């Protein structure tokens, strides 16, 4: 992983491979951003003109390379676009800095060391740039390399040459950040911890389902818990059957890899409040007997992204020593068709005691989540938040970069939406319309697992709400769109697993600990 350090040394004297500067889009052409004064001076104050000559505009995502001025200890200057120049007396927004830093980090693959001369004033700037750099430099390389280990895919002739095969930048040095400043140092440390856990979640999401079974995931969670003083309990298939977890058993029974329910409990000294995070952990979603058609199966290792986000968030809360109790629940199962699989039409008796007629075995996430939510609620947390790649319908509604927030409490939904905005995650509040409830009626059971097709993301939320006890504050994050990036990398977001919702959950824990959330 890339190392992040702070230094007071100047851009001219830093011995690195590259110096990164920011360039914004001004009314009359590109404008060199604050932090790059020394570099601009090396160009006799004409860096903006040089960049413009090379075609730079300052637009987001843009990268321009120029040789460093004479006398510089680093050979190359890399200018990264920051987007529109802020109004006079206003600073660049955190998300602009985070994205530009991410773009820079992705252009730095193969370099050993880079000096970062982006605009740094406040500790928030240090945090945003640090996060962008460390998220942008992520690479999933576990399955690359060695001739012998080569799979058909990595053996394609272009694989050796593409940038993905170059190692991420070794070290990024923040110029202008103050290593002796407590707030700067704390911001950098928090960025390092948070991004390590987000990148760990990305690794889990990217790991193919033949290696990441529910049992393997539970073992990884157990090891992570042990490392960070988190209490971990794992219910295996026997314990789940004995405990009456009909949802987890029903979804997992078609697979050779049996289900697990993992409980991670971080207990903080003197904490007054408690949160429960519940993650959908379908290690592979084939659809089950209601098998997904070809073309819808290939990325379904992603269906444990919610559980990965929950694990990362609990571990981050523990590593940051937040003064709030956080319990994470990982509802792990593999959804497969077989002679032992649940059939469409079967009725499951859930952990809550409610019965559910499974009309479509591909609506499996809500079944495992229902059991985990009921179990989580038994401990009376102040709030429950579940995270899930739950519906294709949410992707149709909000696209591939925005997650939906549903809740049984308007203020809590609004608070989560605001927190998501603060940390730079795109999210949008969605309703749970009362008229959609009747579509979930079953002629023989308490509920069906599928309702009206229209508003399918909201129907799933309404199903989950049936398992939340009255007086329990609950929110549901449907991250089906942003959890996995099938397109080209952008900003600090790589191809594949993204680590969606972790920053929002961690922010919720931080604000709950600080007591500024009602």
Query: Which are the catalytic amino acids?
Result: 292, 366
* Burial class of residue 490 in the structure, from the number of CB atoms within 10 Å of its CB (0-12 exposed, 13-18 middle, 19+ buried): middle
C-beta of 364 vs 510, nearer to ligand BES: 364
**Per-residue tokens: 229:** 């003083």
Q: What residue has token string 């942003």?
A: 482
Residue of this chain nearest to ligand BES (CB atom)? 392
Q: Phi and psi of 171, rounded to 5°? A: -145, 135
C-beta of 94 vs 333, nearer to Mn ion: 333
In angstroms, what is the minimal distance from the CB of 290 to ligand BES?
7
In angstroms, what is the minimal distance from the CB of 23 to Mn ion?
45
Residue 259 binds ligand BES (CB under 6 A): no
Give the per-residue contact string, 399-438, with ligand BES (x = CB under 6 A; - = no). Answer: ----------------------------------------
Smallest CA-to-CA distance from 430 within 393, 473, 485 is with 393
25 and 61 in contact (C-beta within 8 Å)?
no
Exposure string of 21-36, with b = 16+ CB inside 10 Å and e = fewer, is bbbbbeeeebbbbbbb
Among 81, 136, 281, 365, binds Zn ion (CB under 5 A): 365
In angstroms, what is the minimal distance from the CB of 299 to ligand BES?
7
Residue 285 binds Mn ion (CB under 5 A): yes
In angstroms, what is the minimal distance from the CB of 287 to Zn ion?
8
C-beta of 109 vs 299, nearer to ligand BES: 299
C-beta of 203 vs 285, nearer to Mn ion: 285
Give the per-residue contact string, 272-291, with Zn ion (x = CB under 5 A; - = no). Answer: ----------x--x------
The 3-state DSSP class for residue 320 equals: coil
Exposure string of 160-178, with b = 16+ CB inside 10 Å and e = fewer, is eeeeebeebbbebbbbbbb
Distances 97 to 42, 64, 417 between C-alpha atoms, Å: 24, 17, 21
Residue 131 contact partner, candidates Mn ion, ligand BES, Zn ion, none, CB within 5 to 8 A by sort of partner = none
Which H, E and C letters describe 38-62, residue by residue? Answer: HHHHHCCCCHHHHHHHCCCCCCCCC
Query: Rounded to whole angstroms, how far apart are CA atoms 249 and 288?
Result: 13
C-beta of 40 vs 364, nearer to Mn ion: 364
In angstroms, what is the minimal distance from the CB of 90 to ligand BES?
38
For residue 93, the tally of other CB atoms under 10 A from its CB is: 16
Among 362, 371, 386, 478, binds Mn ion (CB under 5 A): 362
In angstroms, what is the minimal distance from the CB of 405 to ligand BES?
17
Residue 102 binds Zn ion (CB under 5 A): no
Strands 496-497 and 484-485: antiparallel
Using CB under 6 A as the binding rule, the residues of this chain from 76 to 135 that contact ligand BES are none
Helix axes 305-319, 214-227, angle to 10 degrees: 10
Count residues binding ligand BES (CB under 6 A): 14
Give the per-residue contact string, 449-478, with ligand BES (x = CB under 6 A; - = no). Answer: -x-----x----------------------
Return the range that interacts with Mn ion (CB under 5 A); candidates 67-75, 201-209, 279-287, 471-479: 279-287
Among 95, 131, 237, 303, binds ligand BES (CB under 6 A): 303
For residue 223, the tally of other CB atoms under 10 A from its CB is: 11
Give the per-residue contact string, 293-332, with Zn ion (x = CB under 5 A; - = no). Answer: ----------x-----------------------------
Order of all β-strands in the sheet with 347-349: 347-349, 355-357, 447-448
DSSP of 123-177, one letter per residue? HHHHHHHHHHHHHHT----TT---TTT--TTTTSTTTTTSGGGSPPPSEEEEET-
Smallest CA-to-CA distance from 77 within 44, 105, 36 is with 36
Binding site for ligand BES (CB under 6 A): 285, 303, 360, 362-365, 389, 391-393, 450, 456, 480
Binding site for Mn ion (CB under 5 A): 285, 362, 364
């Amino acid at each position: 992983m890339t190392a992040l350090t702070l230094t007071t040394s100047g851009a001219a004297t830093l011995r690195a491979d590259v110096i990164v500067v920011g360039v914004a889009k001004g009314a009359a052409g590109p404008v060199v951003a604050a932090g790059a004064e020394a570099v601009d001076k090396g160009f006799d104050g004409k860096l903006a003109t040089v960049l413009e000559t090379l075609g730079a505009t300052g637009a987001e995502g843009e990268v321009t390379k120029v040789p460093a001025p004479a006398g510089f200890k680093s050979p190359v200057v890399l200018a990264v676009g920051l987007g529109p120049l802020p109004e006079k007396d206003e600073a660049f927004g955190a998300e602009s800095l985070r994205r530009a830093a991410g773009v820079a980090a992705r252009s730095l693959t193969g370099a050993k060391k880079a000096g970062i001369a982006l605009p740094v004033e406040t500790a928030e700037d240090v945090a945003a740039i640090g996060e962008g750099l460390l998220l942008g430099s992520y690479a999933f390389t576990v399955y690359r390399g060695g001739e012998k280990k080569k799979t058909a895919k990595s053996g394609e002739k272009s694989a050796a040459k593409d940038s993905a095969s170059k190692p991420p930048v070794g070290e990024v040095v923040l110029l202008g950040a103050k290593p002796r400043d407590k707030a700067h140092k704390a911001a950098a440390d928090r960025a390092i911890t948070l991004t390590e856990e987000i990148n760990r979640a990305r690794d889990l999401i990217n790991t193919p389902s033949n290696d990441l079974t529910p049992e393997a995931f539970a073992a990884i969670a157990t090891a992570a818990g042990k490392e960070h003083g988190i209490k971990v309990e794992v219910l295996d298939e026997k314990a789940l059957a004995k405990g009456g977890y009909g949802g987890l058993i029903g979804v997992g029974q078609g697979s050779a890899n049996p289900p697990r329910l993992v409980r991670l409990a971080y207990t903080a000294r003197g904490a007054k409040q408690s949160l429960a995070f519940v993650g959908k952990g379908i290690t592979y979603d084939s659809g089950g007997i209601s098998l997904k058609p070809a073309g819808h199966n290939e990325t379904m290792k992603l269906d444990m992204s919610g559980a990965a986000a929950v694990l990362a968030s609990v571990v981050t809360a523990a590593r940051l020593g937040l003064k709030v109790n956080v319990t994470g629940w990982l509802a792990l199962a593999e959804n497969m068709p077989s002679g032992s699989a649940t059939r469409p039409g079967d009725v499951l008796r859930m952990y809550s005691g409610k019965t559910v007629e499974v009309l479509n075995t591909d609506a499996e996430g809500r079944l495992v989540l229902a059991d985990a939510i009921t179990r989580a609620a038994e401990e009376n947390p102040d709030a429950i938040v579940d995270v899930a790649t739950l519906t294709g319908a949410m992707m149709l509604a909000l696209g591939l970069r925005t997650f939906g927030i549903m809740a049984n409490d308007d203020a809590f939904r609004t608070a989560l939406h605001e927190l998501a905005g603060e940390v730079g995650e795109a999210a949008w509040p969605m309703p749970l319309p009362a008229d959609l409830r009747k579509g979930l009626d079953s002629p023989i059971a308490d509920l069906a697992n599928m309702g009206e097709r229209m508003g399918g993301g909201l129907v799933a939320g309404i199903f989950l709400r049936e398992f939340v006890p009255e007086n329990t504050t609950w929110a549901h994050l449907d991250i089906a769109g942003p959890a996995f990036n099938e397109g080209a990398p952008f900003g600090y977001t790589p191809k594949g697993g993204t680590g969606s919702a972790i920053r929002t959950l961690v922010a919720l824990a931080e604000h709950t600990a600080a007591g500024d959330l009602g």
